[in-house]
Structure 1
Amino acid sequence: MSSKIKEIKTKKTHWLDIINASHDDLKYLRQTFTFDPLDVADCSPMLQRQKINDRKQYVFIVLQFPIYGRATGAVEPSEIDTFVSKKQLVTVHDGRLKPLVDFFNLCQTDTLTRANLEQDEPMVIFFKILNKLYDYCYPILNHINLDIDRVEKDILKRAEEETIKNILSIKRNIVNFQKTMQSHYGILQNFVEIMGELNASRELKTEFYNLISHTKDIWNTLVNYKDTINALHETQSSMTSLKINEIMKTLTIFSVIVFPLTLLAAIFGMNTIQSMPFVEQEHGFWYVLAVMAFAVVCMFGYFKKRKWL
């Protein structure tokens, strides 16, 4: 057996945990257990479609959970592939789901946790794993909520480019989070219906219904966050459009004011000296400037009257 494969044996459960399963690890699963080869193939490192397969003797479940990358600030999916039967539990993952890794290590090293595990069947352990993974989702939701609050406060203070980048980053995280959670409700519903074949107790079914409520709660929170960040994005876009309109307004007014000055300059620049007013007068230059200044004052007065300034 590969060193990547760790196991815990109790009176009621044989739990195998595999991190970053290699080809030899998958071959070991095929040879040791009666798992469908297609299910074993789905345990490859690449992300698979989330699903549940009822194989009568066992249930195969593919689920994805979000993880938060502190270095990148991005929410990414991490997959857990699970085989659940009456006596066996096999979990295959990439090692990035900290609650699962910590729980397995705790079961190996902590005496009290190991003693509690002795009486647990595979489905009970599977429930505990899912419960810890769903609890792990809430701090990520809180982090997204803090990011939204920060953007809401900074939307009037910080540079537009930085604010827009933050908004787009939050929207990306929400979408990635939703992509990981969108199939959980249906998969768990199907699993509860299948649990009777594995002799699950009524109390355990009730616990799984509570997990389903968790998935609905998480999904509804994500929808709320998505609506909020979309509203903030629209607000930011409106503010940017308003700023651009103000700039265009200023440039347009400046162009209109300069236009009569340019026209006067062009007229007095024509080679018709004998018929040109003010040209041969001693103070003709100042007369022309006075006419230009008068035109500017008239334009300003007109704009002021129309409340364009």
Structure 2
Amino acid sequence: MAAKKNILPIPDVLNPFKVRKERIMNFNPATGTTTRTPAAETKITVFDYSSDNCQTTTLPDIAATFPYLSSSKLSWINIDGLRKEDVHTVCEKFQIHPLIEEDILSVGQRAKMDMIGDRLFCLLPMIYFNAGSATIDLEQVSIVLGKNFVISFQEDPERDVFDPVRDKLQLHGSRIRNGGADYLCYSLLDVIIDNYFVVLDKLGERIELMEDVVQHTPNKRSLARINFLRRQVFLFKRAIAPVRELVNGFLKSESDLLDDKVTKYFKDVYDHIIQCNDLADNYRDMVLNLQEMYHTQLNLKMNEIMKVLAVVTTLMAPLTLIAGIYGMNFENMPELKSPMGYFYTLGAMGILLILMIVLFRKRGWF
């Protein structure tokens, strides 16, 4: 017995005609005013480390982060959950420019990298794949690099992709422990971009599954799923496209905060984001091909239906002609008075039908 093919379940796609689609279209470049809803809670975690040890502390409030500005060690201050007052306080204390503060508090901001004063700032999306709804979830992450500290701002306190960095910070002798703040910044960017490939793998699985579905059941539900998948791929592509220029900004930067040895690591991140963009383009083309495949399958199905109808019509045409002739109300017609005329006519019609079927089968018409 052949092995049963393991097919991933397709999540139900909501009816697009019954669900109101919310789109955030940020055409206004001004970020002075923000519609961001303040976070219900703020979680502040600090990793104060050197090559010898690493101390992890959860702080009760923003004011507790101030001593780390003058710490002799390197500090990673991770703030989960954004509140305007907290962000303003941190930026004011750590001498972060108000323009950077506005970008941190912005909503739907495009990925970017800036250097203002002696602070490097980058903003980019952290992307997750929601397996339950098969959707792409975006979270805006802001990273500020100083001489001996890195501050990261996240929207969602419940999840992130920084666990590999946290694990390496706990390992004695790890490269991140022996590196500077610029290497920590590189590590955060690297793990965010590496997670893009995880999301792409999930999208790739859905695309391959949809290829099988379209080939076997090309119906309206399949088309709705293709359109839904296309929107997710386009959303992913639009989110990561500017990240390439962000990383390129680090490569071209002449800031004293970036050591030449660490800049080489950003080249590796740059290669990753180029590869990620290329894969996203390939998946976008595959989804567009799925739409073409859907229409092709519909046309093939329609052609088969028309072929069957044409064959049936052709088979019935001679029989209809004979029945029409003998249905005319004339007195002098052949076999009209014969007691076996009715059966002779039916037999002739049956033989004619069989001969036509044999002929069509020989020609391969059905």
TM-score range, shorter chain: 0.7 to 0.9
| 1:70 to 1:180, Cα distance in 2 relative to 1, 3 A | same
**What whole-Å deviation, never above 9, does each CA across 1:83-107 have from its counterpart, x for those lacking one?**
2233442211223653226645985
Quick one: distance in 2 between partners of 1:308 and 1:57? 79
Corresponding residue for residue 132 of structure 1: 191
Give the aligned residue type for 1:279: L
Corresponding residue for residue 280 of structure 2: 222
1:64 aligns with 2:125: yes
Q: Give the C-alpha shift of residue 256 in structure 1.
A: 2.3
Q: Give the C-alpha shift of residue 21 in structure 1.
A: 0.6
Give the aligned residue type for 1:300: I
Q: Give the C-alpha shift of residue 285 in structure 1.
A: 1.9
Give the aligned residue type for 2:353: V
Is the CA contact 1:5–1:16 (under 8 Å) kept in the aligned structure 2?
Answer: yes
Using the TM superposition, name which of 49-58 and 289-298 deviates more: 289-298
Corresponding residue for residue 63 of structure 2: none
Give me the TM-score of the superposition, normalised by structure 2: 0.67
1:283 aligns with 2:340: yes
| 1:219 to 1:97, Cα distance in 2 relative to 1, 3 A | farther
Give the aligned residue type for 1:91: S
Quick one: distance in 1 between partners of 2:128 and 2:42? 25
Is the CA contact 2:125–2:239 (under 8 Å) kept in the aligned structure 1?
Answer: yes
Quick one: distance in 1 between partners of 2:243 and 2:77? 23
Quick one: distance in 2 between partners of 1:141 and 1:12? 37
Q: Give the C-alpha shift of residue 193 in structure 1.
A: 1.9
Corresponding residue for residue 193 of structure 1: 252
Corresponding residue for residue 21 of structure 2: none
Is the CA contact 1:50–1:63 (under 8 Å) kept in the aligned structure 2?
Answer: yes
Q: 1:229-248, aligned counterparts within 5 Å?
A: 234=292, 237-248=295-306
Q: Choose between structure 1 and 2: higher helix proportion.
A: 1
Q: Any gaps of 5 or more consecutive residues in structure 2?
A: 1-40, 48-67
1:98 aligns with 2:160: yes
| 1:255 to 1:124, Cα distance in 2 relative to 1, 3 A | same
Using the TM superposition, name which of 123-132 and 241-250 deviates more: 241-250
**What whole-Å deviation, never above 9, does each CA across 1:177-200 have from its counterpart, x for those lacking one?**
322321122111112222x22342
Q: Give the C-alpha shift of residue 308 in structure 1.
A: 2.1
Corresponding residue for residue 23 of structure 2: none
Specify the SS of the correspondent of 2:237.
helix
Is the CA contact 2:42–2:81 (under 8 Å) kept in the aligned structure 1?
Answer: no
Q: Any gaps of 5 or more consecutive residues in structure 1?
A: none
Q: 1:72-91, aligned counterparts within 5 Å?
A: 72-91=133-152
Corresponding residue for residue 350 of structure 2: 293
- Which residue of 206, 211, 217 corresponds with 2:269? 211
Give the aligned residue type for 2:160: K
Give me the TM-score of the superposition, normalised by structure 1: 0.78
CA RMSD between the two structures: 3.6
| 1:117 to 1:205, Cα distance in 2 relative to 1, 3 A | closer
Quick one: distance in 2 between partners of 1:280 and 1:44? 99
Quick one: distance in 1 between partners of 2:145 and 2:363? 77
Corresponding residue for residue 22 of structure 2: none
Q: 1:115-130, aligned counterparts within 5 Å?
A: 120-130=179-189
Give the aligned residue type for 1:202: D
